[in-house]
Structure 1
Amino acid sequence: MNMTTATLTLDEDRRNQTLGLWLGFIGVFVFALTLPMTRLATGTADAPQLSPWFVTWGRAALAGCLSIAYLTITRSPLPKPEHRVPLALSLLGNAIGYPLLLGWALREVTASHAAVITALLPLATAAAAAWLMHQRARLGFWLFAALGSALVAIYSLLRAQQLGHGFGLSHADLLLLGAVVAASVGYVAGAKVTPSLGAERVISWVCVMALPITLPGAWFTWPEQPIALSSWLALGYVGVFSMWAGFFAWFRGLALGGALRVSQMQLLQPFISIVAAVPLLGESLDLMTLGFAMAVVATVFMGRKMAAPAPPRRPA
C-alpha cells in the first residue's frame, strides 16, 4: 500500500467515524424524545388521552407495516429456526414490555422523573448480557451497578416524600424499573442474532412477528372518546421513529463509528429527555432531578468502562 492509498484510507476512516458519531447522536436524540412523546400520547391520570395499551399496540403495528415494506424492498431472507427464540424475546421486551410499562408509568410521573429511572438502562443491558450471554464482568461493574440502583432508589424515595406519597417507592417507579428490565433483556436477545441477520433486519423482523398481536390489539383498544391531535402525532412519532427508524440510525452509527465510541452517546439521553419535556409538556427544570440524573449517568459511565472482563496478562 503506497502513501497516497494509506492517506485516502485514513481519511475515509475519519469520515466514517464522524458520520458514525452523528448517526449515533441522531439515534440517541430520537430515543430520548420517546419519554415526553409517550406521555403526550397517553396523557395523565387526570387528563387521559390514548390508552397505554393502544399506544403499545399502535406503535408496534405502525412499525410492523413499515418493516414489511423494508424487508420486501431489500429482499431479506426469512429468519432461520435458531433465530426465532431470540427474536421472540426481543419482541416481548422491546415491542410489548417496555412501551406498555412505560406508558402506564408516564400517566403518573413526569417525563423528567422517568428519565432518571431509565438512565439505568445501559447498565441493566450490560448486566443482562453478563447473565444471558454468560459474559463475566469485573467486580467494579457490579459495584457501580449497585451504586446506580441505590441512587435511583434514593431519588424515588425523596420524590415520593416531596409529593406527599410517603417515604417509599411509588407504583410508577416499579413500572419504570420493570420497563428497564424488559428493554435490557430485549436488547441482549436481539444482539444475539444481529451478527447473522443484520441490525436493521432484527428490529424489522421483531415488528413483523408482532403484527398478529399488535394489529388485533390496536383494533380492540381503539379509543372511543375524542383524542387531541397532539396525542395522535406523538403516537406517530413513537411508532415511526422510536420503534423503527431510530434503530436504523443507531445501529448504522455503531457500525461506522465503533461501538465503544458511539455508545457513549447514550449518556446524553436522560438530559435530552429532561430538556425536551420543557417545551413539549410544559415541565420545569428541577435541580434535584438534574443532579440525580448526572449522578446516575456518572455511575453508568464508570460501570460501562468495567463491563468487559479484565484482559488476560501477557506472559513474561
Structure 2
Amino acid sequence: MSAATLTTPLEQETRGLWLGLLGVAIFALTLPMTRLATGAAADPQLSPAFVTFGRAALAGLLSIVYLAVVGGPRPQGRQWAALLFTAAGNVLGFPLLLALGLRHVEAVHAAVITGLLPLATAAAAALAFRQRPAAAFWGCAALGSALVVVYALSHSSSSSGGGAGLRAHWADALLVLAVLAASASYVVGARLTPALGAERVICWVLVVSLPLTLPAAGWTWPTQPVRAAAWGGFVYVALFSMWLGFFAWYRALALGGPVRVSQVQLLQPFLSMLFAVPLLGERLDATTLGFGVAVMATVFIGKRLPVQTGKPA
C-alpha cells in the first residue's frame, strides 16, 4: 500500500498548508532578492533587463530538462497563444516592471503596492470567466486601490524629504503595472492547468520564452563587476521565484485546496517586509506596516465574498 493511500484528508490538507506557506515564503523573498540583484539607483548592480531575461532563461533551460524527464501532454492549438500571453505577463512584464521599480523604491514600500495582487487576480478572473462577485467585492477592490494610491503619494513624498504637497514616485506606477500584468497572465495560465498540469504550465511558459530570453540574457550580460550578493539575489529569483516556488505553490493547491491554501498568501507582503529588514537593512516604519495591514484586510474580506459563476468569456 502506497504512502498516498495511508494519508488521510486532514493530513493532506495540513501538508498542503505547509507547502503553501513554503511557496509564499519563497515568493515573499522575491522583492528583497530582486532589489539585492539590481541594487539601488545610487548603487546599481545587475541591470533590470538582465535580471528579467537571465532569470527566465536559466529557469527555461531547467524546464526543458524537467519536461523531458516527466513527459506528459504537450500544448496544442490555441494553447500556444495562451502560453505566449502568460509569458508576456509572468516572464517579461511582471519581473521587468518589478525590477525597474525596485531600483527606485525600497522593498518594504513595494510590498504594500504589490499586496493588491491577490485581489487584482480575483478581479481579472471574475471578468475573464464572467463571474458576478458581490458589489461589496468591487468595493473592497476600490478601497484597496485607494489605500495603495494614498500610501504611494504620502510615503513617496515623505521618503524623498518632504516638500509641498503629495507626489508619487514614477516607480509606483511601474509596480501597479506589474500587478496588472501578473494578474492577467495568472488567469490565462490557470485556464491551461486542467489540460497540461500546473507544473507543466510554468515550464512550458518558460520554454516558449527561450527564443527571446536566452539571447537577450547574453546581450544584457553585465560588463562591469558586481557584488557577489547581487549574483546571489539573481540566482535566487531564477531558481526559486521563477521556477521552484511555483512547484511548491501548485502542489499545495492540489493537496490543501485553493480556498484554504490561498488564504496563506495574505502573509506574503508582511514576510517581504520582514525579509527586507535584515537582507537590505531597510527600516519598517509604522506607516508602511499600517497601510500593509489595511490593504491585506481588503484582500481578506474581498476574497471571502460570494461569487456567482457564469460561462467563461
TM class by shorter chain equals: over 0.9
Unaligned runs of 5+ in 2: none
Structure 1: give runs of 5+ residues left out of the alignment. 1-7, 312-316
TM-aligned CA deviation for residue 9 of structure 1: 7.8
Task: Map Cα deviations across residues 68-93 of structure 1 (whole Å, 9 max, x no partner).
Answer: 01000011332111211211111000
User: Which amino acid is the alignment partner of residue 292 of structure 1?
Assistant: F
Q: Is the 8 A contact 1:138 1:310 kept in 2?
A: no
Q: Distance in 2 between matches of 1:310 and 1:130?
A: 8
Deviation at 1:227, TM superposition (A): 0.9
Deviation (angstroms), 1:136:
1.8
What SS class does the counterpart of residue 307 from structure 2 fall into? coil
Q: Could you say which residue in structure 2 is the equivalent of 1:303? A: 302
Q: Displacement of 1:284 after TM fit?
A: 1.3
Matched residue, 2:182: 183
Deviation string for 1:106-160 (max 9, x for gaps)? 0100000000000000010011111222222111100000000000011011112
Query: Secondary structure, in 3 states, of the residue corresponding to 2:71?
Result: coil
The 3-state SS of whatever aligns with 1:223 is coil
Q: 1: distance between equivalents of 2:149 and 2:63?
A: 38
Matched, 1:114 2:110: yes
Name the structure 1 match of 2:90: 94
Question: Does residue 143 of structure 2 align to residue 147 of structure 1?
Answer: yes
What percent of counterpart residues are identical?
Answer: 58
Cα distance in 1, alignment partners of residues 306 and 81 from structure 2? 25
State the Cα RMSD in Å.
1.6
Q: What pairs with 1:37-56 in structure 2 (closer than 5 Å)?
A: 37-56=33-52
> CA separation in 2, counterparts of 1:263 and 1:121?
12
Q: Whole-Å Cα distance in 2 between the matches of residues 46 and 161 of structure 1?
A: 18
Q: Which residue of 1 aligns with 2:202?
A: 203
Aligned match for 1:129, one of 122, 125, 129? 125
Q: Which moved more, 1:120-129 or 1:132-141?
A: 132-141
Q: Which range moved further: 78-87 or 228-237?
A: 78-87
CA distance in 1, matches of 2:81, 2:255: 28
Alignment-derived partner of residue 12 in structure 1: 8
Deviations 1:269-310 (A, max 9, x none): 000000000110001121110000000000000011126229
Alignment of 1:1-316 (within 5 A): 12-162=8-158, 163=160, 164=162, 166-306=165-305, 308-309=307-308
Q: Deviations over 1:168-226 (max 9, x none)?
A: 22201000000000000110010011111100000000000000000011011011100
Paired AA for residue 174 in structure 1 = A
Structure-2-length-normalised TM-score: 0.94
SS for the counterpart of 2:168 is: coil
Q: Is the 8 A contact 1:111 1:274 kept in 2?
A: yes
What stretches of structure 1 move > 4 A for 4+ residues in a row?
A: 8-11
The answer to whether the 8 A contact 2:277-2:284 is kept is: yes
Question: How many residue pairs get matched?
Answer: 304
User: Displacement of 1:11 after TM fit?
Assistant: 5.9
Amino acid corresponding to residue 103 of structure 2 in structure 1: R
TM score, norm. by length of structure 1: 0.93
CA contact (8 A) 2:131 2:309 kept: no
Task: For 2:40 and 2:213, locate their aligned partners in 1 and report how far apart those are by CA, in whole Å.
Answer: 23
Deviations 1:230-258 (A, max 9, x none): 11111010000000100000000011001
The one-letter amino acid paired with 1:105 is G
1:4 aligned partner: none
C-alpha contact (below 8 Å) 2:83/2:189 kept by paired residues:
yes
Question: Higher mean Cα deviation, 77-86 or 102-111?
Answer: 77-86
Aligned equivalents of 1:72 and 1:286: distance in 2? 48
Aligned amino acid, residue 252 of structure 2: G
Task: Measure the CA separation in 1 of the matches of 2:124 and 2:82.
Answer: 13
SS in 2 for 1:81: coil
Alpha-carbon distance in 1 for matches of 2:40, 2:176: 19
